[in-house]
Amino acid sequence: MTFLGLVELNWTFFFMIVNFLVLYLVLKKFLFKPVTEFMNNRAKNIEDAFKEAEDKKYEAQALYVDYKDKLDHIKEERTQIIKDATKRAEERSDEIIKAAQQEAKEIIQRANVDIARERQKVINDLKDQISTLAMMAASKVIEKELDEKAHQQLIQQFIDEVGDTTWQN
């Protein structure tokens, strides 16, 4: 029997259909099912990879924000450290200047004391020399009874001796 002239209905046709069904079932079990599972797994892996990439992206953005905040904090801290160091340096500079001024005052005071001491020493030395000269003059006057001419000669001799003695010291 021929069905519209294209296919003959006989035993061969039925065997071909049975063979086709068996082949389909075998292929379905051993080929279609594993390929479908493989494709499903591959699709799931790709979706997981996209999800993981998205998570990493958000994590990277969070880290970026965190590092940016830390960097801003470090900049602020650096600025504060510089301000503190500058302030300490200025304070130390002021302390050094004050100490130098105090030391200069003390040096001036000691110098003034030394000058006063030396001045008093010179005055005392002059008094000693004057008293020595007065004693010499008095001893000369006492040794001789003086007339006007001798008196003038004694004064001139005294002036000559005192001048030599004073200038030698």
DSSP 78-102: HHHHHHHHHHHHHHHHHHHHHHHHH
Mean per-residue pLDDT of the chain: 83
* Residue 5 domain flag: no
Please name which of 136, 138, 144, 143 lies closest in space to residue 166, comparing C-alpha atoms: 136
Q: Is the residue at 7 inside a domain?
A: no
User: Distance (Å, rounded) from C-alpha 156 to C-alpha 137?
Assistant: 11
Task: Count Cα atoms within 13 angstroms, Cβ side, for 86.
Answer: 6
Q: Does residue 62 sit within a domain?
A: yes
Helices (H) and strands (E) in the chain, counts: 3, 2
* Total domains present in the chain: 1
pLDDT band at 29 (very low <50, low <70, confident <90, very high): confident
**Is residue 166's pLDDT more than 60?**
no
**Residue 144 scores a pLDDT above 70:** no
pTM: 0.40
Structural domain that includes position 150: 15-168
3 contacts: CB under 8 Å, gap ≥ 6: 9
How far apart CA 165 and CA 137 sit, in angstroms, is 13
3-state secondary structure at position 34: helix
Check if the beta carbon of residue 14 is closer than 8 Å to that of residue 22. Answer: no
| φ/ψ (deg, to 5) at 146 | -110, 140
Q: Locate 68 and state its tokens.
A: 């940016």
Q: What digits encode the pLDDT tens for the residues 80-109? A: 999 999 999 999 999 999 999 999 999 999
Q: Quote the CA–CA distance of 157 and 143 in Å, as a whole number.
A: 14
